Amino acid sequence: MTDFAATRAAFHLPEGMIYLDGNSLGPLPKAAAARVARTVSEEWGDHLITGWNTCGWMDAPARVGDRIARLIGAEPGQVVVGDTLSIKVYQALAAALDLTPERRVILSDRGNFPSDLYMAEGLIKLLGPNYELRLVEPEEVAAAITEEIAVTMLTEVDYRTGRKHDMADLTRRAHEAGVVTVWDLAHSAGALPVDLTGAGADFAVGCSYKFLNGGPGAPAFIYVAPRHASNALPALSGWLGHDSPFAFDLDYRAGAGIARMRVGTPPIVQIAALDAALDVWDDVDMTDLRERSIALSERFIAGALDACPDLSLASPRDPDARGSQVSFRFENGYAAIQALIAEGVIGDFRAPDIMRFGITPLYLNEADIDRAVEILARVMGDRLWDRPEFKARKAVT
C-alpha cells in the first residue's frame, strides 16, 4: 500500500493553505529545493562546462524520461523530456501526419486545450491548403474517426471538466481506420494510471509541472511507440536530435529512436527539480493513487453539492469517466474562486464559468477536503464572492 502520509510529508505546503490547484502547478517537493541548490552551486558553480560530461547533464533528458515512462505505461528508452508541451504537440503531430501523407485531416475535439489546437493550426498553415483541423464535440470523436482522418489529436482528460476519453477504445478505433494517434497526457500523467503500451498509442506528450510537480517551467515529455521511433520525422531538427551532434556535420541526420525528438540544450536546473520531484513517485502505486483520488473526489463532490445549491457539477458524475479534478459551474465562478483564495483554498477558474479543483492524493487528505468544503460553503452561502475586488480579472486566472 502506498504511504500517503509519507508522500504528503515530502512537500512544502504553506501553513493554513489548502492547495487544490496541483492540476495546474504542483507544489514544491522539499527535495527539489535542495536539489536545485546543489545543481546550481556545485554542478554549475564548480563544474562549469565540464558538467555536461561529469554531472550527466547530456543524458538527463533520457534518464528523466525513463522515470516518467514508468508512470505512463511506457518502457525505458521510449520517452525524453525537453521544451514545452506546446512544442512537443507540434513535433508529435508533424511526425504523425508524416506517417500517412495521403491523408490530410487532423481530428480533435472542442474540449481540447487551445494551445494544442493553435499548434495544429500553425502546422497545417505551413503544410499547405489541403490540410484541415476538424473539431467535433468530445462525445462525437468515436463516430468521427473515419478513413479520411490522418491523425487524432486528443487530450485524454479535459482541462476544464475533467472528462476522460477512453484511450484504449479510441486508439483501437483509430487503428482500425488506419489513423495515427497523438495523446496529450497533460492532465493524466501523475493523475491516474496510463497504459500507453497496452493501448497501443502511437505518440504521446505531456507536461511535468502539473500532477508530476516538476515546478514552473518544468520540461515537457514525448513518447513515441517503438514501431515508429526510428522512422518518425523530427520536424524540429535541432542539433541535439542529430545522430552525432558533436560531429558538427552540415547536414541533419536524425538520431536513433526517441533521441531524435530532442531539439536543443536541455534546461538542466529545471530537469534537476523534476528529477527530485519524481523521487516521490518511486514509492507510489498508481492503482492506490487512483483509488484515493476517486475517494477524495467523491467526498468533495458530495460535500460541495450538498452545501452549495448554486453550484452545478461540470465534471462527469461517474468517477470512471473523470480524471483527477472536479469542476463546478457557477455564473460568478471567477469571483468565487478569488474569494476562496482569500480564505486559503486555492482553486482556479476557466472561462466562461468553471471553478476547477485538482484532487491530488500525494498531499491532500480527508481533513483538507472537509475543510475546503466548509470554506466553499461559507463563500457561497454568505456570498463572500460578491465584492468588487473579487470581480476584477487578473492576467492569470
Residues lying near ligand PLP in the complex (CB under 6 A): 84-86, 113, 115-116, 155, 159, 184, 186-187, 207, 220
Only one residue has cell 463572500, namely 384
Question: Which residue's CB is nearer to ligand PLP, number 189 or number 369?
Answer: 189
Minimum distance from residue 126 beta carbon to ligand PLP (Å):
18
Reduced to 3 DSSP states, what percent helix, strand and coil does the chain have, rounded to the nearest 5? 45, 15, 40
Minimum distance from residue 262 beta carbon to ligand PLP (Å):
17
Only one residue has cell 511535468, namely 208
Question: Which residue's CB is nearer to ligand PLP, number 2 or number 115?
Answer: 115
Minimum distance from residue 21 beta carbon to ligand PLP (Å):
12
Question: Which residue's CB is nearer to ligand PLP, number 51 or number 358?
Answer: 358
Question: Which residue's CB is nearer to ligand PLP, number 159 or number 300?
Answer: 159
CB 313 within 8 A of CB 181: no
Minimum distance from residue 257 beta carbon to ligand PLP (Å):
24
How many whole angstroms separate alpha carbon 44 and alpha carbon 194? 35
- Non-local (6+) Cβ contacts of 147 within 8 A are 177, 178, 179
- Closest listed residue to residue 20, CA positions, set 380, 336, 366, 325: 325
Please identify which of the residues 19, 35, 356, 363 carries the catalytic annotation: 356
**H or E segment and range at residue 339:** helix 333-342
Catalytic residue list contains 202: no
> What does the block give as the cell for 267?
534546461
Question: Which residue's CB is nearer to ligand PLP, number 2 or number 86?
Answer: 86
Catalytic residue list contains 387: no
- Closest listed residue to residue 176, CA positions, set 153, 210, 142: 142
Output phi, psi for 63, to 5 deg: -65, -45
Please identify which of the residues 131, 209, 221, 330 carries the catalytic annotation: 209
Minimum distance from residue 382 beta carbon to ligand PLP (Å):
33
- Closest listed residue to residue 112, CA positions, set 143, 136, 85: 136
Minimum distance from residue 155 beta carbon to ligand PLP (Å):
4
Catalytic residue list contains 184: yes
Catalytic residue list contains 209: yes
Output phi, psi for 39, to 5 deg: -60, -40
Catalytic residue list contains 113: yes
Question: Which residue's CB is nearer to ligand PLP, number 55 or number 87?
Answer: 87
- Long-range contacts made by residues 84-88, C-beta under 8 angstroms, separation at least 24? 84/207, 84/219, 84/220, 85/115, 85/184, 85/186, 85/205, 85/206, 85/207, 85/220, 86/115, 86/116, 86/118, 86/119, 87/119, 87/220, 87/236, 87/263, 88/205, 88/206, 88/220, 88/221, 88/222, 88/261
Minimum distance from residue 244 beta carbon to ligand PLP (Å):
29
Please identify which of the residues 66, 83, 98, 184 carries the catalytic annotation: 184
- Exposed/middle/buried for 171, CB within 10 Å: 0-12, 13-18, 19+? buried
Question: Which residue's CB is nearer to ligand PLP, number 192 or number 311?
Answer: 192
Instruction: List residues with catalytic annotation.
Output: 113, 184, 209-210, 356
